[in-house]
């Protein structure tokens, strides 16, 4: 038998079946323990073969699953992804599995007891058992919706004694069955609103039962989530599963509540990093066995086998978290199209600020291009004004009129939101006497002062050291914290608006999804308050009382060396601005900038992200960069910079010998990454752009083969197909 073993080698490995098992016991998609070197690893059977080119095969140690946990379609899909991203298949299987299953825990561990009616039970009328109300509720449930898992019954307060009563009357019995998803918080059901015309047109354009791809470009608050819910419902009515992919910080308790409130009768599995290993395995298995009807998850949920898949929805498709930046560097957004095609189902990508990739596909007709131009309900688009900051007397980074606006908003009993793209107190510490700067000893970056925790921290490698009060170079005590992060602004704003609560939202104040939910509680209740935070505030939250949004510094993306920086800046500004005026009250956005005349900023703020993005797309046409061309990076990093550079220089020679540079194929590099040194390693890359993906694929496959024979163990290399970051 041929298995995918989780090792960084792009090949499969042959083993004999474990002792005592015959060919009849073996099925692709089962997991096995196999000996590998002097370790035991969890591998997945991909193919049964009669003969192996190897003379002496070892037997696998043990079969873990009796029933395969990967079905045919999902195995083909993983194979496709491995080929496309030049990733070892074994590592892809590992990425697809939740940790507990990756470690070899048997799926049976989460097998569930299900309560089903006996023939006698099925024959009863719904009104039977009227004298025992709980038993009657249970009977009705089983009559109307079929068998129920013990987990689901417990969550509804139908516990063991009630079940036992029915069993003793010989009306029901427990049977062993597949895993059920962990129960969600109980919420009151909420029916769907009446759709507006634009929403109806979008829904009508999506065809079920066949592959079709759509991009819905809908302004913030235009009712995209409502569209996802309605499309899910269509799939569920046909007896199929719905997959909703959300960004890492998009899977909030608020989103889950909204979905649970709409679909009280369906089984929902949420897959995200906040779950304990066991819970995540249960959610995954319930999806893979077809028990869960709705699967909501972040990036890796795309790899969950879904035997009844009926529709795929990708929320905030432009979000960077859909692309994995290490290990197997896949894009869940891009893979959603591949999966939809192979499952013959519709896929819909949605965003107020579509990626240039998706916009390009929509404008060129590869996707249906659907638009929502108006906000749903009564909400109106916010009014946006630029506030020049260059020759202004600023107070801790805020212009006086901005502070006045914040004060007025709070006085009116409304909420204001201040967006600051930096965590911590200050992004750099310097000595005023000798010019010393606090650098990370392991990265080419500055240390950020976190005053609450009294330490300096590197945001790239998480190195920490105690806060310093004297210059380590000249011993002067004249140290200065440069610039402002969220902590510093929090201090200032709390002091300035001391009658109102100031809520800081960033990764330091929100350890868990629940923490964020709790933190936002006063804001949801509608009390006047001042929200202040990083991009965590830009996404997903629907806070109707926010009428003022302040963007403290809009200039971040204007002068970056990364060609995607303006696109990201535009997305972020539009998303943050979109938090204003989502309810009945009108919204206002104030954007502080040192370069208010900058044409890109002008375009973005006057014409909106749509026009801005189309302009960027034209520039990419001229520069021949993605999405107009396919691009991949070949990366290498090493403590010894010369080795990484030399490796890539040789790599380029090798690649150019296979396919010389031409107008259709261009090489750049090796060049240092934008963050040249990280965690003690120097990082370089070669950038390859090609007119045709096929050519790039072939080249990269050859390169991997060549690079796998590289014997320098201290050098790490990787292929990054459709790379998103040059950092
Ligand atoms: P988006 O996902 O585009 O930001 P949402 O779907 O969250 O937008 O909708 C924004 C708000 O408008 C939500 O409160 C939602 O309940 C409401 N809404 C959506 N569609 C409608 C509709 N057709 N009628 C009334 N309210 C709606
Ligand atoms: Zn000094
Ligand atoms: Zn560092």
* Residue 195 Cβ contacting ligand 1 at under 6 Å: yes
Instruction: List pLDDT tens digits, range 341-359.
Output: 999 999 999 999 999 999 9
Residue range 654-696, pLDDT digits in tens: 999 999 999 999 999 899 998 999 999 999 999 999 999 999 9
Please give the pLDDT value at position 6.
96
Helix ranges restricted to H, 16-114: 72-85, 89-96, 99-102
Q: Which of 161-175, 436-450, 545-559 has maximum average pLDDT? A: 436-450
Which pLDDT does position 194 carry in this prediction? 92
CA of 325 to the centre of ligand 1 (A): 32
Nearest atom, ligand 1, residue 226 CA: 6
- 435 in contact with ligand 1, CB cutoff 6 A: no
Ligand 1 atom closest to 218 (CA): 3
Q: Which residue has the higher pLDDT, 586 or 415?
A: 415
Query: Which atom of ligand 1 lies nearest, measured to the CA of 228?
Result: 6
Residue 213 CA to residue 366 CA, distance in Å, equals: 8
Q: Which residue's structure tokens are 């496959």?
A: 701
Helices (H) then strands (E): counts for the chain: 22, 30
pLDDT in tens, 586-598: 889 999 999 999 9
pLDDT reported for residue 146: 85
Instruction: Give the residue with greater pLDDT, 685 vs 710.
Output: 685
Ligand 1 atom nearest to CA at 195: 23
* Pick from 216, 220, 226: nearest CA to 576: 220
User: What ranges in 344-381 are assigned the alpha helix state H?
Assistant: 356-363
pTM of the full structure: 0.93
Read off the pLDDT of residues 179-215 as tens digits, 9 standing for 90 and up. Answer: 989 888 888 889 899 999 999 999 999 999 999 999 9
159 — pLDDT class (breaks 50, 70, 90): confident
Whole-number pLDDT of residue 388: 92
pLDDT at 540: 61
- Grouping H, G, I as helix, E, B as strand and the rest as coil, residue 440 is coil
User: Is the pLDDT assigned to residue 90 strictly greater than 70?
Assistant: yes
Query: 698 Cβ partners below 8 Å, 6+ apart?
Result: none
Give me ligand 3 centre to Cα 439, in Å. 8
Over residues 258-276, the pLDDT tens digits come to 999 999 889 999 998 778 9
CA of 457 to the centre of ligand 3 (A): 8
**Token digits for 358?**
């998706």
Residue 128: CB partners within 8 Å, gap ≥ 6? 136, 139
| 3 state SS for 255-319 | HHHHHHHHCCCCCEEEECCCCCHHHHHHHHHHHHCCCCCEEEECHHHHHCCCCCEEEEEEECCCC
Length in residues, the chain: 727
- For residue 498, give every residue at least 6 positions away whose Cβ sits within 8 Å of its Cβ, in sequence order, or none: none
pLDDT score of 112: 87
Ligand 1, atom 26, lies closest to the CA of 377
Phi, psi of 450 (to 5 degrees): -110, 100
Determine the Cα–Cα distance for residues 84 and 82; give it in Å rounded to an integer.
6
- 141 vs 143: CA distance, rounded Å: 5
Say how far apart CA 582 and CA 727 lie, in whole Å. Answer: 35
Q: For the chain, what is the mean pLDDT?
A: 91
Among 197, 223, 318, name the best residue to mutate to test ligand 1's pocket (greatest count of ligand atoms within 8 A of Cβ): 223
CB of 225 within 6 A of ligand 1: the answer is: yes
The DSSP bridge pattern shows strands 212-218 and 346-351 to be parallel
Please state, in angstroms and as integers, the Cα–Cα distance from residue 376 to each residue in 222, 282, 372, 539, following that order.
Answer: 5, 36, 9, 17
Pairing of strands 665-678, 546-551: unpaired
Mean pLDDT of 576-592: 86
Measured between alpha carbons, how far is residue 436 from residues 433, 473, 479 in Å? Answer: 8, 7, 9
Are 101 and 69 spatial neighbours (Cβ–Cβ below 8 Å)?
yes
CB 384 within 8 A of CB 577: yes
- Please say if the pLDDT value at position 651 is more than 70: yes
**Torsion angle of alpha carbons 471, 473, 475, 478, nearest 10°?**
-40
Q: What is the pLDDT of residues 125-141, one digit of tens each?
A: 888 787 888 888 888 88
Higher-confidence residue of 713 and 251: namely: 713
User: In whole angstroms, what is the distance from residue 89 CA to residue 82 CA?
Assistant: 5
Q: Quick one: which H or E segment has residue 177? A: strand 172-177
Asked whether 224 lines ligand 1 (CB < 6 A), one says yes
149's tokens: 């898992």
pLDDT at 725: 87
Name the residue at shortest CA distance from atom 23 of ligand 1: 195
Integer Cα distance of 355 and 663 in angstroms: 26
End-to-end CA distance of the chain: 41
Does the CB atom of residue 218 touch ligand 1 within 6 A? Answer: yes
Report d(CA 231, CA 315) in Å as an integer.
13
Residues 8 and 707: their CA atoms lie apart, in Å, by 12
How many angstroms separate the alpha carbon of residue 472 from the centre of ligand 2? 7
Token representation of residue 383: 């009014």
Query: Residue 42: exposed, middle, or buried by beta-carbon count in 10 A (0-12, 13-18, 19+)?
Result: buried
Q: What is the 452 CA–ligand 2 centroid distance (Å)?
A: 24
More confident residue, 253 or 328: 328
Task: Say yes or no to pLDDT of 513 above 70.
Answer: no
Q: How far is CA 461 from the centre of its chain?
A: 21
By three-state DSSP, how is residue 178 classified?
A: coil
């Amino acid at each position: 038998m041929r298995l995918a073993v989780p090792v960084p080698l792009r090949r499969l490995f042959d083993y004999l079946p474990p002792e005592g098992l015959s060919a009849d016991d073996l099925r692709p998609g089962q997991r096995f323990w196999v000996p590998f070197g002097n370790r035991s690893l969890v591998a997945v059977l991909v193919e049964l073969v009669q003969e192996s080119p190897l003379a002496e095969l070892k037997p696998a140690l043990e079969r873990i699953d009796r029933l395969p946990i990967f079905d045919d379609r999902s195995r083909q899909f993983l194979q496709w992804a491995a080929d496309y991203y030049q990733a070892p298949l074994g590592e892809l299987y590992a990425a697809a599995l939740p940790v507990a299953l990756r470690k070899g825990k048997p799926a049976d561990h989460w097998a569930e007891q299900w309560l089903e009616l006996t023939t006698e039970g099925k024959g009863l009328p719904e009104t039977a058992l009227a004298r025992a109300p709980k038993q009657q509720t249970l009977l009705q449930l089983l009559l109307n919706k079929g068998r129920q898992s013990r987990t689901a019954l417990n969550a509804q307060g139908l516990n063991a004694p009630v079940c036992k009563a029915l069993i003793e009357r010989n009306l029901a019995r427990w049977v062993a069955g597949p895993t059920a998803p962990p129960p969600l918080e109980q919420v009151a059901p909420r029916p769907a609103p009446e759709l507006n015309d634009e929403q109806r047109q979008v829904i009508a354009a999506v065809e079920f039962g066949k592959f079709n791809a759509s991009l819905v470009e809908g302004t913030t608050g235009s009712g995209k989530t409502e569209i996802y819910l309605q499309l899910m419902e269509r799939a569920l009515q046909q007896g199929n599963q719905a997959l909703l992919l959300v960004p890492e910080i998009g899977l909030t308790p608020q989103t889950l509540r909204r979905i649970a409130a709409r679909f009280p009768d369906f089984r929902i599995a949420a897959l995200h990093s906040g779950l304990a290993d066991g819970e995540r395995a249960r959610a995954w298995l319930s999806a893979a066995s077809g028990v869960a009807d709705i699967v909501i998850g972040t990036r890796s949920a795309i790899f969950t086998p879904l035997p009844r898949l009926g529709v795929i929805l990708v929320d905030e498709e432009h979000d960077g978290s859909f692309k994995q930046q290490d290990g197997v560097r896949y894009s869940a957004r891009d893979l959603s199209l591949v999966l939809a095609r192979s499952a013959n189902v519709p896929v819909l990508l949605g965003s107020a600020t579509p990626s240039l990739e998706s916009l390009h596909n929509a404008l060129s007709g590869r996707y249906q291009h659907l638009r929502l131009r108006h906000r749903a309900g009564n909400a109106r688009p916010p009014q946006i004004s630029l506030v020049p900051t260059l020759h202004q007397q600023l107070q801790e980074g805020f212009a006086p009129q901005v502070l006045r606006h914040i004060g007025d908003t709070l006085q009116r009993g409304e909420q204001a939101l201040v967006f600051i793209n930096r965590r911590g107190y200050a992004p750099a510490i310097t000595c005023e006497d000798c010019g010393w700067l606090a650098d990370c000893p392991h990265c080419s970056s500055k240390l950020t002062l976190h005053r609450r925790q009294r330490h300096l921290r590197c945001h790239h490698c998480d190195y920490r050291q105690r806060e310093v009060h004297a210059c380590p170079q000249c011993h002067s005590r004249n140290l200065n914290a440069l610039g402002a992060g969220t902590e510093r602004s929090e201090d200032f704003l709390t002091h300035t608006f001391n009658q109102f609560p100031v809520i800081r939202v960033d990764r330091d104040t929100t350890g868990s999804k629940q923490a964020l939910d709790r933190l936002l509680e006063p804001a949801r209740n509608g009390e006047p308050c001042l929200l202040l935070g990083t991009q965590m505030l830009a996404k997903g939250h629907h806070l109707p009382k926010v009428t003022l949004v302040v963007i403290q510094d809009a200039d971040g993306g204007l002068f970056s060396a990364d060609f995607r920086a303006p696109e990201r800046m535009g997305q972020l500004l539009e998303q943050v601005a979109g938090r204003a005026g989502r309810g009945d009250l009108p919204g206002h956005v104030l954007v502080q900038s040192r370069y208010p005349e900058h044409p890109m900023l002008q375009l973005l703020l006057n014409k909106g992200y749509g026009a801005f993005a189309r302009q960027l797309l034209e520039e990419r046409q001229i520069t021949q960069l993605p999405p107009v061309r396919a691009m991949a990076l070949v990366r290498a990093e090493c403590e010894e910079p010369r080795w990484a550079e030399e490796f890539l220089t040789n790599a380029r020679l090798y690649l150019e010998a296979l396919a010389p540079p031409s107008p259709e194929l261009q090489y750049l590099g090796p060049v240092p990454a934008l963050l040249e040194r990280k965690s003690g390693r120097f990082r370089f890359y070669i950038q390859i752009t090609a007119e045709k993906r096929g050519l790039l694929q072939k080249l990269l496959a050859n390169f991997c083969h060549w690079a796998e024979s590289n014997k320098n163990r201290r050098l790490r290399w990787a292929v990054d197909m459709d790379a998103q970051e040059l950092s």
